[in-house]
């Protein structure tokens, strides 16, 4: 009997020990040494040489504030002010450092566009200390991807993973050259997926808490299976160094860019032709929505796929090709990766009712062309009155009980309009006793206003009419 009791007690102790061991094992951190040993040789250091233009240096004692890596302010300030001191700085050679990784044995290397942009010479240093001059095969500024090629033998290559399978909380590892320290390793977890940054509309970034610093740009982000799932690209920082927010380009996006560069020498994207904004809680309530979601169309560019497909200002795009649009930032990547010339199914909320539209996607024009189209559409007459106006949506007309005519004041700059008391959000329905029909006709009325005298302006504000006196500047 005592023997059975002892055996029973021993069995419980063994079981308890196994459970405790499993609990301890579950709490252990993942092991990265094998991954580092196997895949560190695939990561390269990239240095570039470029001519620095002459710039005005800051007075003695003043310094340029530390800024996040790759921001437009960073480039702008250094372009004009250099790095300190006084007077003009002469043209000189400058060097920059970044990272990259080898994607196949033919010598193709992936990195960030901002690492090699404007470079006169690109030198790749391999893990075995070989240094090879690289050729820039192609680059895409919108996604910040560049494809290089080197002529070298016995090249180790990465395994390309699938960034769509990533999950928030998953462990990831970065290898790169922060501040020029080759093959530095940092680890962390995926903090969020599908992040959209203001400067990058077509990239759904992977956010991590992996320590990324200047020089890490262009380096790989590995998962625990040793697969590359992203390219470390940007950081959010008030000091210029790591502050817990890092952003990587999904490898799926990068490999699509690589494929297009190899096949056609450039990258093309789908284009809808709308300017959009988020649906706030107040806007959702005004549109009769139970919750804020979708992309609110603030502007439809002339002769665009959206215009031809029947999308209107005030529509809320809630679904694109079967994929739900939660935030406005979800839409550009969905449109961008749609095949050019294909018909996209777009669901919109208009006047409280869902509508399904078919839109033939066109190729995204150059940024300069888009800027011209936007400014041409938005511009009214800022020189004389300081106003920018736009069309009213169907929902806004319904709310104001305005069947036709009128323009919405989108922006009021310093000038006669602001002095007259015209505000953003006003609806101008009469100018100088003449009915306002649309933005184009409003511009003609403004051009024909007599200079040096006051004219009446009738606006709708909070649904009620209000006359204002507008003093027109003399010619």
Residues with a catalytic annotation lie at 114, 144, 217
CA distance 148 to 107: 8
358 burial level (CB within 10 Å; 0-12, 13-18, 19+):
exposed
CA distance 156 to 127: 10
CA distance 275 to 285: 21
CA distance 360 to 385: 38
Q: Is 455:449 a contact under the CB 8 Å cutoff?
A: yes
- Reported residue count of the chain is 475
CA distance 21 to 331: 48
The answer to whether the Cα torsion of 188, 192, 194, 197 is positive or negative is negative
Q: Is 439:389 a contact under the CB 8 Å cutoff?
A: yes
User: Bridge-partner residues for 188, per DSSP?
Assistant: 172
Q: Phi/psi class of residue 371: alpha, beta or left (left: φ > 0; alpha: ψ in -120 to 50)? A: alpha
């Amino acid at each position: 009997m005592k023997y059975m009791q002892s055996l029973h007690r021993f069995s419980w102790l063994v079981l308890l020990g196994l459970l405790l061991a499993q609990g301890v094992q579950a709490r252990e951190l993942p092991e990265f040494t094998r991954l580092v040993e196997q895949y560190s040789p695939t990561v390269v250091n990239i240095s570039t040489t470029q001519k620095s233009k002459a710039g005005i240096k800051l007075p003695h004692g003043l310094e340029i504030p530390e800024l996040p890596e790759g921001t437009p302010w960073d480039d702008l300030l250094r372009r004009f002010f250099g790095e300190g001191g006084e007077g003009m700085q002469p043209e000189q050679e400058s060097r920059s450092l970044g990272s990259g990784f080898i994607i196949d044995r033919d010598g193709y290397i992936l990195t960030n566009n901002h690492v090699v942009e404007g470079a006169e010479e690109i030198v790749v240093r391999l893990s075995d200390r070989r240094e090879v001059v690289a050729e820039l095969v192609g680059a895409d500024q919108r996604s910040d991807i560049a494809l290089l090629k080197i002529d070298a033998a016995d090249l180790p290559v990465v395994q390309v993973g699938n960034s769509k399978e990533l999950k928030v909380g998953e462990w990831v590892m970065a290898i790169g050259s922060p501040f020029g320290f080759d093959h530095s390793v940092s680890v962390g977890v995926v903090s969020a997926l599908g992040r959209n940054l203001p400067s990058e509309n077509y990239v759904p970034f992977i956010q991590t808490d992996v320590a990324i610093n200047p020089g890490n740009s262009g380096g790989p982000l590995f998962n625990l299976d040793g697969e590359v799932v992203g390219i470390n690209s940007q950081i959010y920082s008030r000091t210029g160094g790591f502050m817990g927010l890092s952003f990587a380009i999904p490898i799926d996006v990068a490999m699509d860019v690589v494929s297009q560069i190899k096949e056609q020498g450039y990258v093309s994207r789908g284009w809808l032709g709308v300017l959009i904004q988020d649906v706030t809680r107040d806007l959702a309530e005004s549109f009769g929505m139970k919750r804020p979601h979708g992309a609110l169309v603030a502007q439809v560019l002339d002769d665009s796929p959206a215009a031809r497909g029947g999308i209107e200002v005030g529509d809320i795009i809630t679904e694109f090709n079967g994929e739900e649009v939660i935030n406005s930032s979800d839409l550009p990547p969905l449109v961008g990766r749609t095949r050019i010339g294909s018909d996209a199914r777009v669901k919109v909320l208009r006047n409280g009712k869902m509508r399904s539209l078919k839109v033939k996607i066109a190729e995204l024009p150059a940024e300069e062309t888009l800027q011209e189209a936007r400014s041409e559409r938005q511009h009214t007459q800022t020189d004389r009155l300081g106003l920018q106006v736009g069309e009213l949506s169907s929902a806004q007309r319904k709310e104001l009980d305005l069947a036709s005519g009128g323009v919405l004041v989108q922006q009021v700059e310093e000038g006669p309009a602001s002095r007259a008391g015209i505000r953003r959000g006003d609806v101008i329905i009469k100018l100088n006793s003449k009915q306002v029909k649309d933005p184009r006709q409003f511009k003609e009325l403004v051009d024909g206003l007599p200079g040096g005298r006051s004219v009446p302006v009738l606006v709708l504000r909070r649904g009620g009419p209000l006359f204002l006196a507008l003093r027109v500047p003399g010619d």
